[in-house]
Structure 1
Amino acid sequence: MYKIYGIILTLFFTITLEAQNSEKAKALLDQVSSRVKSYENIAVDFRYSLSNPKQNLNQESKGTVVQKGNMYVLDFMGITRIFDGKRVYNIVPEDEEISISKYNDQKDDNLTPSKIFTFFNSGYKYSWDILQNVKGRKIQYIKLTPTNAKDNTKEVLMGVDVQTKHIYNLIQTEKDGTKMTITINSFKTNQPLSKNHFTFTESKYPNYYINRLD
């Protein structure tokens, strides 16, 4: 009988601790979202890597993104992507080609710049993970596990700077072993931007082929 009581108590405390950790993790992520929303705009330099040993996949690149609300200008892997809130413009200088398409939030499941600070608000279970010291910065990791069993993502580890409440890095692991890591090298806020910063100006690309997808 005492053994049964011990098992019940252990289960009770384990469930209680997990619930507390989940609440603590969600509270930290809420602070991240709130802090980002408080800025007029943000400018980020980042490092990106994609790897999968089984597929002999190993890619690394750097990029920059300027974001205001859900609008952004992303420079990454030789391509500039502009999102003005309604349409997406992909500009490829190497091919002198531009594709223009309407943005559909319901169909676009990619982790876009406008989603990276908010994607974790729903669809995940949260747990408190390790705390690391990175060059004097305390980085607290939160583990996110998709609630949808059909999701291709196994888990996401999000590192949050404890002091600034800014995202330091994001490590997304797929079920097939593919790992994507985004590390933020520079995070600037409230930068002076022109009123046309997120506007695509067709006249700047006179010799480009423009592919209007819809």
Structure 2
Amino acid sequence: MKKLVTLFALTFFLVAFTPVGNTPTKDKNTAKALLDKVVVKAKSYKNMVIDFKYAINNSAENINQENKGKVMLQGNKYVLFFMGVTKLFDGKKIYTIVPEDEEITVSNNDENDANAMSPNKIFTFFKKGFKYSMDIKQSVAGKTIQYVKLTPSSVTDKRKEILIGIDTKTNHIYNLIEVGKNGTRTTLTVTSFKFNQKLGKNQFTFVKAKYPNYYINKAD
């Protein structure tokens, strides 16, 4: 769960980029223009419903796992379904619902906490701390995917690089690939992207009555 949230760090609003490193200015400007298009497009939607596939691989550690999930976003609110756990943010509180344990953890959202990653930051996590440049372009299932490479500015960052795959026709993010310095490769691929959907009135509201036997743990 934590790793997924780190990738989602996959969101959709106002990104400011500052040229850094030794990447040619033209290359940086091209990458910036493409990322700006992604942000503007996503910002134009009332809401988004995204199905995704999440894979983590490390051959040296014999790790090869794959899971599916779904996230719904509207403004700064979201509901994330992943590995049997539901994480709901109503704009003020975060509710982590674990049916297996019949437990709900309620916590505050701290926008100033850099480590408090969430699904509604998938398009803004690269705002600070990265050098960026254009990478390869590939044809995937009839789509033209242009990758932008992000390289952490800090030498202490455990990530070697992050690749953002962008569908050049729709300006939607197709996938995110995080490569760790330890050889771990984490990939989040969007399998379905819908927008301006008719969502339930209480879609982003925690309704306690739905969980009558659950233990509620207030973390903050």
- Residues 61-140 of structure 1 mapped to structure 2, 5 A cutoff: 61-107=67-113, 109=115, 111-140=117-146
The corresponding residue for 1:171 is 177
Distance in 2 between residues matched to 1:113 and 1:22, nearest whole Å: 26
Q: Retained in 1: the 8 A contact 2:80–2:88?
A: yes
Structure 1 unmatched runs, 5+: 1-14
Q: Which has the higher contact order (CA 8 A, sep 6+)?
A: 2
CA change 1:108–1:85 in 2 (3 A) is: farther
The corresponding residue for 1:35 is 41
CA change 1:102–1:90 in 2 (3 A) is: same
Pick from 143, 150, 153: which aligns with 1:144?
150
Larger radius of gyration: 1
Question: Which amino acid in 2 is paired with 1:44?
Answer: I
Question: Which amino acid in 1 is paired with 2:104?
Answer: I
SS of structure 2 residue aligned to 1:54: coil
- Residues 14-25 of structure 1 mapped to structure 2, 5 A cutoff: 18-25=24-31
Q: Which ranges of 4 or more aligned residues in structure 1 deviate by more than 4 Å?
A: none
Question: Which amino acid in 2 is paired with 1:95?
Answer: D
SS of structure 2 residue aligned to 1:55: coil
What's the TM-score, normalizing by structure 1?
0.88
- Aligned-pair CA distance for 1:86: 1.5
What's the TM-score, normalizing by structure 2?
0.86
The corresponding residue for 1:7 is none
Question: Which amino acid in 2 is paired with 1:77?
Answer: M
SS of structure 2 residue aligned to 1:39: coil
Structure 2 unmatched runs, 5+: 1-20
- Aligned-pair CA distance for 1:19: 1.5
Question: Which amino acid in 1 is paired with 2:194?
Answer: K
The Cα RMSD (Å) is 1.7
Distance in 1 between residues matched to 2:113 and 2:59, nearest whole Å: 30
Distance in 2 between residues matched to 1:19 and 1:153, nearest whole Å: 24
Greater percentage in helix: 1
Encode CA deviations 1:114-159: one digit per residue, 9 max, x unaligned.
1112212332111111110011110001101112222221110010
Pick from 36, 39, 55: which aligns with 2:61?
55
Encode CA deviations 1:81-104: one digit per residue, 9 max, x unaligned.
001122111111111111111112
The corresponding residue for 2:206 is 200
Question: Which amino acid in 1 is paired with 2:25?
Answer: A
SS of structure 1 residue aligned to 2:120: coil
Pick from 145, 168, 180: which aligns with 1:162?
168
Identity score, percent:
53
Distance in 2 between residues matched to 1:16 and 1:76, nearest whole Å: 38
